[in-house]
A and B are shown apart, each in its own frame.
Chain A
Amino acid sequence: MRYLILILFLAVAQLGAAQTPDSVRLDMVLAEIESHTDYEFSYRSEWLNGIYVSSKVDYSQPIVPQLDQVLVNTVLTFYIMGNQIVLLNNQEIVTEPVFVQSINSKQEVVPEDEDVVFSREQSGQDLSLEETLLDVGNRKLYEKGKRSTLAGYVRESGNGTPVQDAYVYIESPFIGTTTDAEGFYSLNVPNGKRTLLIQSVNMKNTHRRLMMYSDGRLDVDMAVDVIALNSVVVSAEREANTKSPQMGLTKISPENMKIVPALLGEKDLVRVATTTAGVQFLGEGSAGINIRGGKADQNLFLFDGTPVYNTNHFFGFFSVFNADALSGMNLYKSAIPAEYGGRLSSVFDIKSKEPNKEKYSGSGGIGPVTSKLMVEGPTFKNGPTFMVGGRATYSDYVLNKIKNSPLKNNDVSFYDLVGKLDYEINDKNSVSVSGYYSKDRFQLSSDTLLSYTDFSYSNKLLTANWRHVFNDKLQADFQAGMSQYDYDIGYDVLPTQAFRIDYGVKENHLSAKFDYYVNEKLNYKFGMQVKHTSVTPGIKSPTGSESLVDKDRVPDEQGVELAPYASALYSPTDKLSVEGGVRLSMFAVLGPGEVNEYAPNQPIDQNYVIGTDTYGKNEIVKTYIGPEYRLSSRYSLTETSSVKASYNRTRQNIHLLLNSSSIAPTDMWRLSGPYIKPQISDQVSLGYYRNIYGKHALEMSAEVYYKHIQNLLDFKVGADLQFNKHIETDLLQGTGKSYGIELSLKKSSGWLTGWINYTYSRSLIQLDGDFPDEIINGGEFFPTGYDKPHYLNSVTNYKFTRRLTMTVNFVYATGVPTTYPTGKYTFQGSENLLYSDRNSYRIPDYFRVDLGINIEGNHKIKKLAHSYWSFSVYNLLGRDNVYSTFFRVEDGEVKGYKMTVFPSPIPTITYNFTF
C-alpha cells in the first residue's frame, strides 16, 4: 500500500513538472522578481536551461514563501543572504545540523517498519553510486528490529586522503558521529533500509542508500567541492567544540593558512597558530612561542611524530615548515593525550601531506624572499606514492648584487627539503617514510658584539612508520625516528682568538602505539616509546694558524627515556565522556661523565668543589622516574553546550638554556642531570563550550586554567651559557605558576567568517635560593619575561565573491616585562647601571593590524593549473611596536633606546599555484 501511494505521488509530481501552457521560463520569472523587488539572484545560467515554472507571483505578499512555490517542481533550492538569493542546483544549504533540526521539529519520530528489500528494486541500470542500494552485512544474519554496527573509512576520492571530522549520520532515527583522524567512523544503525548522509568541510555532500543486514563495513569516497571553496557548508568540526572530550586542542589546516595574511608572503602554520586563543608570540623576529604561560622551550614540535629541535629560519621570521608539504597541525595546549610526552606546555603535531595516489600534481609559490615547490604522485600502479618539496631564499643572490656596501662580504641563506614515500601494501598494512632537512647559514664580515662572525645550523629528520591493522578493533603504528640538530659558530676577527664551536643534539626513538576500539563507548590507546638522546654541548677548536685557542670540549651527555603509556576513552552515555591515561616517564642519565661534588651548605660554585665522581660508559649517573597523569572529561549540558574539565602532568628532561626571553639559534639544549632536575608541570583546566546555530553558526568557548611548574629553569645575572663546563654554577631552578582565562568566539559559516579571542593570563616565577645571587627579587614571585596579561587577537575573513577574499588580522598584547636601570654608580672611573628588580617594568603595548587579499583564478576543474595571488600588508597601520628596550652608558650618561622591527607597513605579493 505504501508503495502505491509513493508511486502515485511521484506520478503527480511528474505531471506537475511537465510543461503546461501557462508556464514560463524560470530565468524570466527571476528577472521579473528582481525588477519588482530588491532581491538579486545568483545562479549558473545552465541550471535554468529548459526549466519552466508557474509564474504566479503576487508582489503584494512576501516573496520568499512564494519562491518555494515557484521552485517546488524543480531540483533547485535557494539560500537567502540579505538581498541576495543564491540558487543551488540540487544541493541543500544547511544552516543548522540535521540533528538539531530533528530536535527542533516537534514531529514524533515513529520507527518505521521497514522490510527487507527485494533485489528487483535494484534492477534499474545506470544508477549512480548514491542511488544504488548497497547491502551491508550478511543477509542470513538479518534480524528485524535489531541494530548492527556500521563502520568504515571516509576518504577523499582521487588521492585517498582520510577525511577527518566528516559528519556521518542517518536522519531517522537520528544517529550521527564524526570521523577520526584516519577518516574512520562507526555507527550503531537499526537494521533495514537506511540512507547514510556524509558531510564535510570543503567536500561535496554525499549519501549512500544502505540495506543493513548485520555488522558490516562501508567506505565512502568524498569529492572535493571545487565550486564551494570555503563556501557555506556545515562544518562538522564545529561539533568537536562541544562534543569531543578533548580540551585545549587547536587544529590548523592548510585552508587556515591561506586565510591569515602572511608576513613576506610566506604562509606559515606556526604563525597561524598564534592567531588562536592562548598562543602568544613575543614579536617579530622572536622565535619563541609561549603557550599558557609556558617557556618557549616547553613546546614539542613533531613532524610526522619526530621532534624538531629548531623550528625557525632566519631568527623566527619564518618557520622551518614548508606549508605546501603539510596536511595540517594539531596543537594541544591542555589535556595532552598520554601518547605525547617530553615537553611541559604543548604539542604541535604537524603532519606531512599524504601524497596524491591518482596522478602527478603539485603546488608552488613565488614570493619576494623565498620560492617553493612541491610535487607528489604515484610511482607505478598500486605502488608507493611520493611527495617532495623544497624551499629556498634568494638572499645570497641579492647580497651579491650589492656593490660597495659594508654588507658585501656577508652571506646569508637558508633552504629546506621535505620528502615522503607512502605505500599501502594491502588493507592491513601501510608504511611511510618521511624525511626533512633544513639549513641556515650566516657569514658576517665582522661582529664584535656577537663575538662570532659566522654560524650555520641544520635540522635532519627521518621517520619510518608502519601501520598494521590487526582486525576491525585493533590497529597499531610502529615508528622509528631520528632527529638531529647541529650548529657551528665561528669567530675570526682577531686571528689569535679565532675559533669555532660545534654543537649538536641527536635523538633516536622507537615507538609502538596501539589503538583498541572496543565499541562506541570504549576505546583504549596504549603503547611505549623508547628514546635515546645525546648532546654534544660544545667542541671548541682553533681556526687558522695564528690562533692561540686551545682545542677543548664540554663533555657529551646522553640519556635514555622509556615511556609506556595507556589511556581509555569511555563514553557511558551521550552526555558524558571521560578519557583517562597515564604515561610513565623513566629517564636515566648515562655515562661517561664526570660530576663535580660541591661542599654542602655552600654556593654551587667552582670554589666549593670538594670532589669529582667519574662514571663509565653507559653507567647510570642519575635516574628520574615519575608518572604523568592525563585526564579529561566532557559533560553535555544540552545538545549544543557542554562543560569540560582536565588535569595533566607533564615532565621535561631536555631543556633549552635560554637567558633571554627569545630563542636564539645558538641556544643549547641540555639534558636533565645530577644538577638539572626535570621540569614538572601540573595543569588543571575547566571550560564551557557552546555552539549557537541559526542563520549563522557561532562557536563559543571559555577556558580557565591554572598551572604549577616545578624546577622551572632560569639563570643568574650574567650567566654564560655558551661553552660552559659547569652549567650548574650559573643555573637557578624555581617554582613557576601561571593561570588565565581564554575566551573565544568563532564564526565559520557564511560570507563573513573568522574568530576573536581574548586571553587574560599571568606567568610568574619564584627564585628563592640560599645565597645572594640565587635570590631574585627578594625571593618573591615575579613575572617571567613572557608574561603578557592581556592578549586579544582576531582574524576576520570576508568573501566578496568566490574568487576574492579579504582578511583582516588584529593583535593586541600587553608589553612584555623588562628590567630597567633605575640608578647608576661610579666604580673605577666608569659609570655603571643599577637595575630594578627583574622584570618590574614593561615595554609599551603591542598592537598590529594586517590585511590580506586573495584573488583566485577560476575554478574550472579541468583547468591545467589553479592559481591565486596573495596580496598582504603586514602592520597596516605602520605602528612602531617596540620589540625591546635597552640602555647604554654613553660618556657617563645613561641613554635609553627602543628597537622596532617593522615600523612601517610591509606589502608583499605572492603568486601561488597548484597543478
Chain B
Amino acid sequence: MKRLLYIALFLLGFDACVEPYDFEVRETDEVMVVDAVLTNVSEHHTVRLSISYALDGEQATNVSGATVSVEEVGGMQYAYTEVEAGVYESDLEYAGVPGHSYILHVELNDGNRFVSSEEFLPSPVPIDSIYGRYLEQNSQVDESQLKGVQFMVDNHNNSEEFSSYRYEYREDYEVKVPYPSSYEWLAAEEVLELRETYIGTCYRFLESNELIAETTSGQVENRLSEFPIVYIEDNEAQLRYTFSLIVDQFSITPGAYQYYKNLKENNESAGSFFDKQKGTVLGNMSHVSDASYPILGYFEVAGVSTDSRVFRAGSFRDQGFSPIQPYNCIYDRVADSVAVEELPKYSGLGFSYEVYQLTFPSPDTAIIITSTCSDCRKHGTLDKPDFWDQ
C-alpha cells in the first residue's frame, strides 16, 4: 500500500515523506515470553523463558527457577531441567509423535502457573526441491531495481486437505581473500614460518532471523510451488563462491500459522494509510487461574523435515546473474613491502597485517597485506560444512 501511496503522490507531483521518528515511551511492560518448540525429531527439546525488555535494551532477562514439563495427552509427562539461565531442556531425548497432542506446563517459583492449549502435532511433509532463480524486483526501501537470486521450495502433501508451514534456513558460503598469506609471523620467536594451512578460503553461515510462514489453505491442491525462502542480492557475499541452503520445514497447526502471521504483521508495519490496528499478539499460553494475566510466546508443536542443496559458484550465470565483487582489496592500497629484517618493528603484524609473499628470486623483502585481504579467518572459519562433499 505504501507503493500505492507513493504513486498517488507522485501523480499529484508531490512527495510524501517518511522520516525517522523519535518517540518516547512512558514505561516498558515486563511480560514473560515462552519460546518452545517440540518436533518429531528425537532430541533434547528446549523451552526458553525470558522477559520482554525495553526497546533500547540489549538483552532479555531470563526466567530461572521454573518448573517445566510437556505432557503428552493421554501419555507421558516429560520433565525439563534448566541447563542454563532461562533455557530448559528435556531430561530425555524424545520425539513428538505426529497425530498426538501435547501440553506445555510452566510453573514459576512465585507460584504462577501457566499452561498451553492442547497442541496437535502435524505430520512432517517432505521438501520436493530447493532451487534458485534470477529475479529483478523493485526495492521496498527506495525506487531502485534489485538484482538477485530468489531461492524457493516446492512441496506437496496429498494426505491432507491443507497444510501450514514455518521455515527456517541456514546459508553456508565460501569466503575468499585475494592475497592469502603464505607465511605466518611468530611474534614471540620473531620468526617467519611457511603456513601449513591455506587461509585463502573460509566458510561462513547466516541463519534466518525472520518469521516465514505459509499455508495452502484455500488452494485447489495441497502443494507449495515456488515458495520464496530467501532473496540474495548481487551485492551480498553468499553467491560469490560455493553456497548451500539448508531449509527446515516445520508443519505447524493452523493456529500457529495465524499466530506467526499476526506477529509478522505487527513487526513489519509499512506505515500505509490503512495499517491494521497494532497490539500485542497473544499466543496459546495462558495463566491457569487468571485469564487476564499477560503472557507472550507460543508452544509450537511441529513435524519437521529438512533438505539442503549446494550451489557451485556461477550456478546462475546462465540466467544473467553475476555477483558484485568488493573493491576493498585493491593491491596498491593494501600492500606494503618491508625488508625481512625490519619485520619485528612492523606493528600490527600477525593481527592487522599478514605476510603475503616474499620477493622472488631473492626473498629479502616481505610483501605485507591488510589481514582482511589476506586472512579469510577474519570473515569466517576454516571448517567446511560436512555435507558439501557428499
Query: A residues bordering B, Cβ < 8 Å?
Result: 264, 285-286, 314-315, 317, 368-369, 395, 398-399, 405-407, 410, 412, 442, 444-450, 494-496, 540, 542, 546, 548-550, 552, 607, 659-660, 662, 664, 666, 715, 717-719, 771-773, 775-776, 778, 785, 819-836, 838, 841, 880, 882-889, 892, 894-904, 906
Known: A449-B3, A449-B140. 5 other contacts (CB 8 A): A264-B12, A444-B7, A824-B55, A829-B168, A835-B279
| A825, A827, A903 pick with most chain B CB within 10 angstroms | A827
| B138, B226, B280 pick with most chain A CB within 10 angstroms | B280
Q: Is B278 an interface residue (CB 8 A)?
A: yes
* Cβ contacts under 8 Å, A773 to chain B: 282
Find the B residue at minimum CB distance from A829. Answer: B209
Find the A residue at minimum CB distance from B48. Answer: A826
Find the B residue at minimum CB distance from A901. Answer: B16
B278-334: which residues lie under 8 A (CB-CB) from chain A?
A: 278-282, 286, 291-292, 296-298, 300
Known interface pairs A717-B277, A718-B261; A449-B270 also in contact (CB < 8 Å): yes
Known interface pairs A900-B17, A904-B14; A889-B279 also in contact (CB < 8 Å): no
Known interface pairs A775-B292, A838-B279; A826-B218 also in contact (CB < 8 Å): no
Find the B residue at minimum CB distance from A496. Answer: B225
> Judging by beta carbons under 8 Å apart, are B296 and A834 in contact?
yes
- In the complex, 11 of the A-B residue pairs with CB atoms within 8 angstroms, ordered by the A residue number, are A446-B138, A496-B225, A660-B273, A715-B277, A830-B267, A834-B29, A835-B279, A886-B270, A886-B275, A903-B17, A904-B14
Question: Which residue of B50, B220, B262 contacts A718 across the interface (Cβ within 8 Å)?
Answer: B262
> Judging by beta carbons under 8 Å apart, are A896 and B20 in contact?
yes
> Judging by beta carbons under 8 Å apart, are A410 and B7 in contact?
yes
> Judging by beta carbons under 8 Å apart, are B209 and A548 in contact?
no
Q: Which 4 A-B pairs have the closest CB atoms?
A: A718-B262, A717-B279, A886-B271, A898-B21
What's the Cα separation between A819 and B283 when bound, in Å?
19
Q: Is B158 an interface residue (CB 8 A)?
A: no
* Cβ contacts under 8 Å, B19 to chain A: 880, 897-898, 900
What's the Cα separation between A666 and B296 when bound, in Å?
31
Q: Which of B31-39, B121-129, B366-374, B381-389 contacts A (4 or more CB under 8 A)?
A: B31-39
* Cβ contacts under 8 Å, B225 to chain A: 496, 546, 548
Q: Is B95 an interface residue (CB 8 A)?
A: no
Question: Which residue of A659, A718, A820, A888 contacts B25 across the interface (Cβ within 8 Å)?
Answer: A820
> Judging by beta carbons under 8 Å apart, are A887 and B269 in contact?
yes
Q: Is B137 an interface residue (CB 8 A)?
A: yes
> Judging by beta carbons under 8 Å apart, are A664 and B274 in contact?
yes
> Judging by beta carbons under 8 Å apart, are B226 and A822 in contact?
no
Q: Is B76 an interface residue (CB 8 A)?
A: no
What's the Cα separation between A446 and B216 when bound, in Å?
22
B200-254: which residues lie under 8 A (CB-CB) from chain A?
A: 207-211, 216, 218-221, 223, 225-226, 228
Known interface pairs A450-B4, A772-B286, A897-B18; A819-B279 also in contact (CB < 8 Å): yes
> Judging by beta carbons under 8 Å apart, are A825 and B31 in contact?
yes
Q: Is B341 an interface residue (CB 8 A)?
A: no
* Cβ contacts under 8 Å, B53 to chain A: 823-825
What's the Cα separation between A445 and B211 when bound, in Å?
26
> Judging by beta carbons under 8 Å apart, are A446 and B17 in contact?
no
Find the A residue at minimum CB distance from B298. Answer: A827
> Judging by beta carbons under 8 Å apart, are A822 and B140 in contact?
no
Find the B residue at minimum CB distance from A451. Answer: B1
Q: Is B197 an interface residue (CB 8 A)?
A: no
Known interface pairs A398-B11, A785-B277; A827-B297 also in contact (CB < 8 Å): yes
Q: Is B83 an interface residue (CB 8 A)?
A: no
Known interface pairs A829-B207, A838-B277; A718-B266 also in contact (CB < 8 Å): yes
Q: Looking at the assembled complex, report how far the CB atom of B184 sits from the nearest CB atom of chain A, in whole angstroms.
A: 35
What's the Cα separation between A906 and B12 when bound, in Å?
10
Q: Is B351 an interface residue (CB 8 A)?
A: no
Q: Looking at the assembled complex, report how far the CB atom of B120 sits from the nearest CB atom of chain A, in whole angstroms.
A: 11
Q: Looking at the assembled complex, report how far the CB atom of B180 sits from the nearest CB atom of chain A, in whole angstroms.
A: 31
> Judging by beta carbons under 8 Å apart, are A412 and B11 in contact?
yes
What's the Cα separation between A282 and B29 when bound, in Å?
30
| B3, B276, B286 pick with most chain A CB within 10 angstroms | B3
Question: Which residue of B7, B29, B281 contacts A412 across the interface (Cβ within 8 Å)?
Answer: B7
> Judging by beta carbons under 8 Å apart, are B138 and A824 in contact?
no
* Cβ contacts under 8 Å, A829 to chain B: 168, 207-209
Question: Which residue of B25, B54, B268, B279 contacts A776 across the interface (Cβ within 8 Å)?
Answer: B279
Classify chain B's interface size.
35 or more
* Cβ contacts under 8 Å, A662 to chain B: 273-274
> Judging by beta carbons under 8 Å apart, are B271 and A897 in contact?
yes
> Judging by beta carbons under 8 Å apart, are B11 and A822 in contact?
no
> Judging by beta carbons under 8 Å apart, are B50 and A825 in contact?
yes
> Judging by beta carbons under 8 Å apart, are A822 and B18 in contact?
no
> Judging by beta carbons under 8 Å apart, are B29 and A542 in contact?
no
Q: Is B110 an interface residue (CB 8 A)?
A: no
Q: Looking at the assembled complex, report how far the CB atom of A342 sits from the nearest CB atom of chain B, in whole angstroms.
A: 25
> Judging by beta carbons under 8 Å apart, are A828 and B37 in contact?
yes
What's the Cα separation between A820 and B21 when bound, in Å?
12
What's the Cα separation between A80 and B35 when bound, in Å?
81
What's the Cα separation between A494 and B226 when bound, in Å?
8
* Cβ contacts under 8 Å, A832 to chain B: 263, 266-267, 281, 296
* Cβ contacts under 8 Å, A552 to chain B: 218
* Cβ contacts under 8 Å, B138 to chain A: 406, 445-446
Q: Looking at the assembled complex, report how far the CB atom of A471 sits from the nearest CB atom of chain B, in whole angstroms.
A: 54
Find the B residue at minimum CB distance from A284. Answer: B16
* Cβ contacts under 8 Å, B193 to chain A: none
* Cβ contacts under 8 Å, B296 to chain A: 825, 827, 832, 834
Known interface pairs A442-B4, A449-B272, A785-B277; A888-B267 also in contact (CB < 8 Å): yes
* Cβ contacts under 8 Å, A885 to chain B: 21, 23, 271
* Cβ contacts under 8 Å, A447 to chain B: 1, 3-4
What's the Cα separation between A550 and B29 when bound, in Å?
43
Find the B residue at minimum CB distance from A894. Answer: B55
Known interface pairs A444-B3, A717-B280, A772-B292; A314-B219 also in contact (CB < 8 Å): no
> Judging by beta carbons under 8 Å apart, are B276 and A826 in contact?
no
Question: Which residue of B10, B20, B282 contacts A897 across the interface (Cβ within 8 Å)?
Answer: B20
Find the A residue at minimum CB distance from B274. Answer: A664
> Judging by beta carbons under 8 Å apart, are B16 and A900 in contact?
yes
> Judging by beta carbons under 8 Å apart, are B33 and A825 in contact?
yes
* Cβ contacts under 8 Å, A841 to chain B: 23, 25
Q: Is B22 an interface residue (CB 8 A)?
A: yes
What's the Cα separation between A410 and B228 when bound, in Å?
24
* Cβ contacts under 8 Å, A314 to chain B: 8
Known interface pairs A662-B274, A824-B53, A884-B275; A835-B266 also in contact (CB < 8 Å): yes
Q: Looking at the assembled complex, report how far the CB atom of A323 sits from the nearest CB atom of chain B, in whole angstroms.
A: 19
> Judging by beta carbons under 8 Å apart, are A834 and B280 in contact?
yes
* Cβ contacts under 8 Å, A369 to chain B: 11-12
Q: Is B190 an interface residue (CB 8 A)?
A: no
* Cβ contacts under 8 Å, B208 to chain A: 829
> Judging by beta carbons under 8 Å apart, are B11 and A399 in contact?
yes
> Judging by beta carbons under 8 Å apart, are B291 and A772 in contact?
yes
Q: Looking at the assembled complex, report how far the CB atom of A538 sits from the nearest CB atom of chain B, in whole angstroms.
A: 11
Q: Looking at the assembled complex, report how far the CB atom of A539 sits from the nearest CB atom of chain B, in whole angstroms.
A: 13
Q: Looking at the assembled complex, report how far the CB atom of B291 sits from the nearest CB atom of chain A, in whole angstroms.
A: 5
Known interface pairs A395-B11, A717-B262; A548-B219 also in contact (CB < 8 Å): yes
* Cβ contacts under 8 Å, B211 to chain A: 828, 830
What's the Cα separation between A776 and B277 when bound, in Å?
12
Q: Looking at the assembled complex, report how far the CB atom of A265 sits from the nearest CB atom of chain B, in whole angstroms.
A: 11
Q: Is B187 an interface residue (CB 8 A)?
A: no
What's the Cα separation between A95 and B221 when bound, in Å?
79
What's the Cα separation between A660 and B25 when bound, in Å?
22
> Judging by beta carbons under 8 Å apart, are A896 and B279 in contact?
no
Question: Which residue of A406, A494, A820, A901 contacts B9 across the interface (Cβ within 8 Å)?
Answer: A901
> Judging by beta carbons under 8 Å apart, are A827 and B280 in contact?
no
Question: Which residue of A405, A540, A771, A833 contacts B218 across the interface (Cβ within 8 Å)?
Answer: A540
Question: Which residue of B3, B143, B267 contacts A833 across the interface (Cβ within 8 Å)?
Answer: B267
> Judging by beta carbons under 8 Å apart, are B8 and A317 in contact?
yes
Q: Looking at the assembled complex, report how far the CB atom of B315 sits from the nearest CB atom of chain A, in whole angstroms.
A: 22
* Cβ contacts under 8 Å, B390 to chain A: none
What's the Cα separation between A546 and B226 when bound, in Å?
11
